[in-house]
Amino acid sequence: MRAQGQVHGRRHPVVQEPPEGAVQEPLEGAVKEPPEGAAKVPHDEAMRSAKEAITAAQEAAQAARLRRAAKAAEHRAEYLAVLLSDPGDPRHGTDTGYSYGCRCDACAAAWRRKSTGYRRRLKAALDADPGDPRHGRLGYHFGCRCAVCVAANKANKAGKAARGAARPRGSHGEGGR
């Protein structure tokens, strides 16, 4: 038989239960009350400072996003300027050139080829799978004329008409829409 306090030949301290009715002292290092002399922070103030910290972090993240967007816009403008300054640039005639803002015939043709291919692939996928979640407004836009896509398109048009009727005349340019 093994000795009390040993498990699998290893020594372990024996845990003794406190007697009934005894008040247990908190574990060493556990703090119930702030140390003497420490200022007690009201709950509302602590919540306010936590919210302020979160707001500051969100503002910093937003500022970083804006800096990245500005840098990307600057890069696009430089790319377009170089592209437009050299008609012999090998990047002409690419969908990337078009996406950066070049509207020369070669770039526009490349963009049309790319988007036409995408539309054909998407329509083929929709035709092949009636359970595809893209059926609806998106499917109708890409040429699917199944019952789900037609109904979604009709509902979209009705919603646009209702929103247009509710809009005061002249709120969308001269004479409204």
pLDDT higher than threshold 80 for residue 40: no
Average pLDDT, stretch 66-84? 91
Are 102 and 92 in contact, with CB atoms under 8 Å apart?
A: yes
The CA–CA distances, whole Å, from 123 to 53, 77, 128, 132, 155 equal 49, 34, 9, 11, 21
Average pLDDT, stretch 161-171? 73
Q: Is 132 exposed, middle or buried (0-12, 13-18, 19+ CB in 10 A)?
A: middle
DSSP of the chain, one letter per residue?
-PPTTEETTEE-PPP-PPPTTPPPPPPTT--SSPPTTPPPPPHHHHHHHHHHHHHHHHHHHHHHHHHHHHHHHHHHHHHHHHHHH-TT-TTTTSHHHHHTT--SHHHHHHHHHHHHHHHHHHHHHHHH-TT-TTTTHHHHHTT--SHHHHHHHHHHHHHHHHHHHHSPTTBTBTT--
Q: Dihedrals φ, ψ of 102, to 5°?
A: -75, 130
Amino acid at 153: N
What is the C-alpha to C-alpha distance for residues 125 and 123, in angstroms, rounded to an integer? Answer: 5
Specify the pLDDT at position 177: 44
Reported as a single tens digit per residue, the pLDDT across 118-129 is: 999 999 998 898
C-alpha distance across the termini of the chain, in Å: 94
Banded pLDDT at 1 (limits 50, 70, 90): very low
Specify the pLDDT at position 154: 93
Q: Please give the structure tokens belonging to residue 65.
A: 């996003």
Banded pLDDT at 11 (limits 50, 70, 90): low
